[in-house]
C-alpha cells in the first residue's frame, strides 16, 4: 500500500501489525456488517498515521473489500492518510493529531461504565505520542474513575519521527508512570501472539483499574532494512527495496 | 416605530435558563449527560449534579479531555452537554473541538459559558472574544448565540434534538427578556425584532437588546432601522442578510472581536452579493482592564454608540 501510494508510515505499521491482528482476530467482539452495534467492543487507533496496518486489518476483518486497499490515499478514496469514521465503517473516531485516542476512548469507557454495559474499549497509542499532555489528562480521569473496561496498548518501539524516545523526551520508567496514575500495568512482547491474546482477552471484571499493556515492539519489524531504523518512520521503499521487503515478509 | 414592552421585567442571567432547560430535558431523556472541567458552579449545574450525580462527568481542570470525553460519550450512545468557560473550552481544547467533535461529526453539544468580556476585570486571558472566529471555520459545527433567557432555552432544546455537533455561547451578563410578536426559534433562521428600511442592525447575544434600544432612539429622529437577531452564526441566514443589504446600510454588533465573528460572517455574504456600506462593531483585540460594563461603554457597544454607527453608515450610502 505504501509503495503504491508512495506515501505512508511503514515503520509504525510494522511495529503495530501483530497487536492489531491479535485484537481483530482473537479479542474484539464485532460484526463488520453492524459497525454501529451499541454492544460492540470499541477499538480506537490513536496512532492514526499507521493506517497502512489499520486498513489492512479492517479489510481482512470484513469492514470493506480488500481490493479497495489499492486506493490508499488516492484522490477521494475512503482510505484517507488518517482514518475518518464518516468514510469508513469500523473507525470509531477521527485521529491523526497525536494524543487524541485515549481521551476519546476514556469517554467511551465512561459511557459503558454508566450503563453497566459489558463492551470493552481498547486504544492503541504510539510511545512517542505519550509526550502529548492530553494522554495524561485522560490517564488521570480513567484512573480516578477505575475504568476497568478500558485498555490502552502502547506500541513501545522506542522510536519517534526524529530520534529515539529516550533521547528526545524520555518516557522511562513508563510502567511506573501509569501505575502512579491508577492503572494496572503489564509489559509484554508486542510481536508474540500468545502473549498478546492472553493479556488482551482476559476478562477485566474485578480488576478495578484500567489496564495499560506496554507492548515492546520493533519499528519496521519484518523488513531487515527498516528494522529499528528511525529513517523508516515515514518513508517509501524504492523498487528494489519493495521487492526485498515483500520477499522477506513472505 | 414602537415595540411592545418586554414580556418580563428585570434582567436575567442566561445561565439560569440553560440550567433549568438541561434539567428539564434530562428528566425526559436518559441519554442526556453533562461533562464539566471543575466548572459545575460557573455552569450553574449544581442542581443537575444533585439530581443526577451519576450522569455528570467531572474530568477536573483538563479541557482537552473534557471535550474528548464528550466525543467518547456520544460514541457510547449518550447526548453529552459539555460545559465550561468559553475561553477555555475553545482556546485550550481547539484541536479536540476540530478533530474529535467537528471533523468526526459527532453528536456533542458544547456550551461556552461566560463568553465575551463577562470576566471583564480578569483580563483577556479570561475573555472569550475570539471564539466565534475560531469556531466559524468548522463548516459543520452549528453555532448559536442566544440573546435572552427564552432564546437560550430554545437553543438548548434545539441542540438536544439535532443530531450533530453544536456550540452554544452563553453569557453571564444580565440581559432583559426581549419583546417578541412571534416567538419562534429555528436553527439557521434570523429573527427580525424591529422592521426598518433605512438601515439594518444585525446583532446577537448580549448586544441585541442594545440594538433594539438604539433603533428605538433612531426612530424618534425618523430613522427606521431594522433589528435582526442573528442568533445562529452557523449556518448563517443568508436570505436575511441579503434582505438587510437592501436597506443600503448594515451595522453588525457583537460581544466579540471585530475580526472574524458575526461581522466578518455578514461581510462575506454582503461583499460577494450586494456590497453596501457596513460597520462592524465589537472589540478591536486585547482590551484594557475594566469591568464588562465599562468595556462596553469604552468601546461604544451601547445604545448611543450603535445609534451613532447607524447614522454614520447611512451617511456613507
Q: Which of residues 43-62 of B touch A (CB under 8 A)?
A: 54-55, 57, 59-60, 62
Q: Which fold has domain B14-170?
A: Rossmann fold (3.40.50)
Q: How many residues does chain A have?
A: 250
Looking at every residue in chain B, the average pLDDT score rounds to 96
- DSSP assignments along B46-64, one per residue: HHHHHH-GGGEEE--S-HH
pLDDT of residue A18: 97
For residue A44, give the chain B residue with the closest CA: B72
Q: Please, are residues A11 and A233 in contact by the beta-carbon 8 Å criterion?
A: yes
Taking an 8 Å cut-off on Cβ atoms, the answer to whether A93 and B105 are in contact is no
B103 touches chain A (CB under 8 A): yes
Taking an 8 Å cut-off on Cβ atoms, the answer to whether A141 and B65 are in contact is yes
For residue A92, give the chain B residue with the closest CA: B75
Taking an 8 Å cut-off on Cβ atoms, the answer to whether B62 and A107 are in contact is no
**Residue in A2, A15, A85, A10 with CA at minimum distance from that of residue A44:** A85
pTM for this predicted structure: 0.96
In angstroms, the CA B162 to CA B3 distance is 32
Taking an 8 Å cut-off on Cβ atoms, the answer to whether B62 and A140 are in contact is yes
Residues in Cβ contact with B121 at an 8 Å cutoff, skipping those fewer than 6 apart: B289, B290, B291
Q: Which of residues 237-256 of B touch A (CB under 8 A)?
A: none
Per-residue pLDDT of chain A (250 residues; tens, 9 = 90+): 888 888 888 889 999 999 999 999 999 999 999 999 999 999 999 999 999 999 999 999 999 999 999 999 999 999 999 999 999 999 999 999 999 999 999 999 999 999 999 999 999 999 999 999 999 999 999 999 999 999 999 999 999 999 999 999 999 999 999 999 999 999 999 999 999 999 999 999 999 999 999 999 999 999 999 998 888 888 889 999 999 999 998 8
- The SS3 of residue B120 is helix
Closest CA–CA distance from residue B198 to any residue of chain A (Å): 46
Sort out which chain A residues have CB atoms less than 8 A from B73's CB and list them: 107-108, 110-111
ipTM (interface pTM):
0.96
Q: Which fold has domain A2-31+40-249?
A: Rossmann fold (3.40.50)
> Testing the interface with B: which of A91, A96, A104 to mutate, by most B Cβ within 10 A?
A104
Taking an 8 Å cut-off on Cβ atoms, the answer to whether B95 and A106 are in contact is no
Task: Inform me whether the pLDDT recorded for B5 exceeds 70.
Answer: no
Taking an 8 Å cut-off on Cβ atoms, the answer to whether A111 and B72 are in contact is yes
Say which of B54, B59, B62 has its CB closest to residue A114.
B54
- Locus of grid cell 484541536: B95
For residue A84, give the chain B residue with the closest CA: B104
Burial class (CB in 10 A: 0-12, 13-18, 19+), A175: middle
Q: End-to-end CA distance of chain A, in Å?
A: 16
**For residue A23, what is the DSSP state?**
I
**How do the domains of chain A map onto residue ranges?**
2-31+40-249
Q: Please, are residues B99 and B107 in contact by the beta-carbon 8 Å criterion?
A: no
Task: Tell me the per-residue pLDDT of A55-106, one tens digit each, with 9 for 90 and over.
Answer: 999 999 999 999 999 999 999 999 999 999 999 999 999 999 999 999 999 9
pLDDT of residue B6: 44
Say which of A38, A97, A106 has its CB closest to residue B72.
A106
Segment holding B15, helix H or strand E: helix B14-28
User: What is the pLDDT averaged over residues B44-66?
Assistant: 97
Taking an 8 Å cut-off on Cβ atoms, the answer to whether B75 and A107 are in contact is yes
Residues of A with CB under 8 A from a CB of B: 38, 42, 84-86, 92-97, 99-100, 103-112, 114-115, 117, 133-134, 137-138, 140-141, 144
- The SS3 of residue B93 is coil
- Locus of grid cell 438601515: B199
Q: In what order do the strands lie in the sheet with B79-85?
A: B56-58, B32-36, B79-85, B109-113, B166-170, B142-144, B232-234
Sort out which chain A residues have CB atoms less than 8 A from B99's CB and list them: 94-97, 100
Sort out which chain B residues have CB atoms less than 8 A from A144's CB and list them: 60
Tell me the sheet residues that pair with B34: B56, B81
Sort out which chain A residues have CB atoms less than 8 A from B95's CB and list them: 97, 100
B221 touches chain A (CB under 8 A): no
pLDDT band at B237 (very low <50, low <70, confident <90, very high): very high
Q: Within chain B, which residue ranges are assigned CATH 3.40.50.920? A: 191-315
pLDDT of residue B8: 54
Taking an 8 Å cut-off on Cβ atoms, the answer to whether A103 and B64 are in contact is yes
Best CATH choice for the domain B191-315 from the list 3.30.160.20, 3.10.20.30, 3.40.50.920, 3.40.50.300: 3.40.50.920
> Testing the interface with A: which of B69, B82, B93 to mutate, by most A Cβ within 10 A?
B69
pLDDT of residue A115: 98
DSSP E strand boundaries for B49-184: 56-58, 79-85, 109-113, 142-144, 166-170
B99 touches chain A (CB under 8 A): yes
Amino acid at each position: 500500500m505504501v509503495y503504491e501510494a508512495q506515501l505512508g508510515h511503514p515503520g509504525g505499521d510494522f511495529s503495530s501489525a501483530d497487536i492489531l491482528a491479535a485484537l481483530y482476530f482473537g479479542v474484539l467482539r464485532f460484526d463488520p456488517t453492524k459497525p454501529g452495534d451499541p454492544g460492540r467492543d470499541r477499538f480506537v487507533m490513536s496512532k492514526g498515521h499507521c493506517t497502512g496496518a489499520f486498513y489492512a486489518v479492517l479489510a481482512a476483518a470484513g469492514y470493506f473489500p480488500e481490493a479497495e486497499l489499492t486506493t490508499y490515499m488516492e484522490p477521494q478514496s475512503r482510505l484517507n492518510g488518517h482514518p475518518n469514521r464518516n468514510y469508513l465503517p469500523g473507525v470509531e473516531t477521527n485521529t491523526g493529531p497525536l494524543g487524541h485516542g485515549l481521551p476519546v476512548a476514556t469517554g467511551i469507557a465512561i459511557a459503558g461504565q454508566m450503563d453497566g454495559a459489558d463492551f470493552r474499549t481498547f486504544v492503541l497509542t504510539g510511545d512517542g505520542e505519550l509526550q502529548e499532555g492530553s494522554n495524561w489528562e485522560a490517564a488521570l480521569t480513567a484512573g480516578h474513575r477505575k475504568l476497568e473496561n478500558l485498555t490502552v496498548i502502547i506500541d513501545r518501539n522506542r522510536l519517534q519521527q526524529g530520534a529515539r524516545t529516550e533521547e528526545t523526551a524520555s518516557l522511562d520508567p513508563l510502567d511506573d508512570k501509569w501505575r502512579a496514575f491508577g492503572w494496572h500495568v503489564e509489559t509484554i512482547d508486542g510481536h508474540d501472539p500468545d502473549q498478546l491474546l492472553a493479556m488482551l482477552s482476559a476478562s477485566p471484571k474485578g480488576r478495578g483499574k484500567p489496564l495499560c499493556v506496554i507492548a515492546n515492539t520493533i519499528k519496521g519489524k519484518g523488513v531487515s532494512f527498516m528494522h529499528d531504523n528511525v529513517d523508516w518512520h515515514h518513508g517509501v521503499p524504492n523498487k528494489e527495496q519493495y521487492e526485498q521487503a515483500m520477499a522477506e515478509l513472505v | 416605530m414602537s415595540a411592545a414592552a418586554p414580556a418580563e421585567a428585570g434582567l436575567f442571567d442566561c445561565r439560569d435558563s440553560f440550567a433549568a432547560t438541561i434539567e428539564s430535558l434530562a428528566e425526559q431523556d436518559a441519554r442526556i449527560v453533562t461533562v464539566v472541567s471543575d466548572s459545575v458552579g460557573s455552569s450553574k449545574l449544581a442542581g443537575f449534579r444533585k439530581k443526577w450525580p451519576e450522569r455528570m462527568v467531572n474530568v477536573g481542570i483538563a479541557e482537552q479531555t473534557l471535550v474528548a470525553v464528550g466525543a467518547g460519550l456520544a460514541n457510547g450512545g449518550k447526548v453529552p452537554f459539555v460545559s465550561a468557560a468559553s475561553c477555555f473550552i475553545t482556546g485550550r481544547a481547539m484541536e479536540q473541538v476540530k478533530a474529535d467533535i467537528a471533523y468526526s461529526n459527532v453528536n456533542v453539544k458544547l456550551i461556552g459559558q461566560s463568553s465575551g468580556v463577562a470576566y471583564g476585570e480578569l483580563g483577556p486571558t479570561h475573555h472569550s472574544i475570539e471564539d466565534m472566529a475560531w469556531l466559524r471555520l468548522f463548516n459543520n459545527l452549528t453555532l448559536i448565540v442566544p440573546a435572552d433567557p427564552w432564546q437560550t432555552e430554545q437553543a438548548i432544546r434545539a441542540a438536544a434534538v439535532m443530531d450533530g455537533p453544536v456550540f452554544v455561547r452563553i453569557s453571564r451578563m444580565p440581559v432583559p427578556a426581549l419583546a417578541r410578536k412571534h416567538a419562534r426559534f429555528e436553527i439557521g433562521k434570523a429573527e427580525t425584532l424591529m422592521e426598518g428600511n433605512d438601515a439594518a442592525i444585525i446583532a446577537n447575544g448580549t448586544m441585541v437588546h442594545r440594538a433594539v434600544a438604539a433603533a428605538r432612539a433612531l426612530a424618534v429622529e425618523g430613522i427606521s432601522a431594522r433589528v435582526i437577531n442573528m442568533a445562529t452564526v452557523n449556518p448563517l441566514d443568508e436570505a436575511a442578510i441579503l434582505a438587510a443589504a437592501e436597506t443600503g446600510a448594515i451595522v453588525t454588533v457583537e460581544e466579540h472581536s471585530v475580526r472574524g465573528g458575526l461581522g466578518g460572517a455578514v461581510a462575506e455574504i454582503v461583499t460577494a452579493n450586494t456590497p453596501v456600506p457596513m460597520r462592524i462593531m465589537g472589540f478591536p483585540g486585547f482590551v484594557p482592564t475594566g469591568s464588562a460594563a465599562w468595556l462596553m461603554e469604552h468601546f461604544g457597544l451601547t445604545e448611543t454608540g450603535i445609534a451613532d454607527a447607524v447614522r454614520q453608515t447611512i451617511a456613507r450610502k
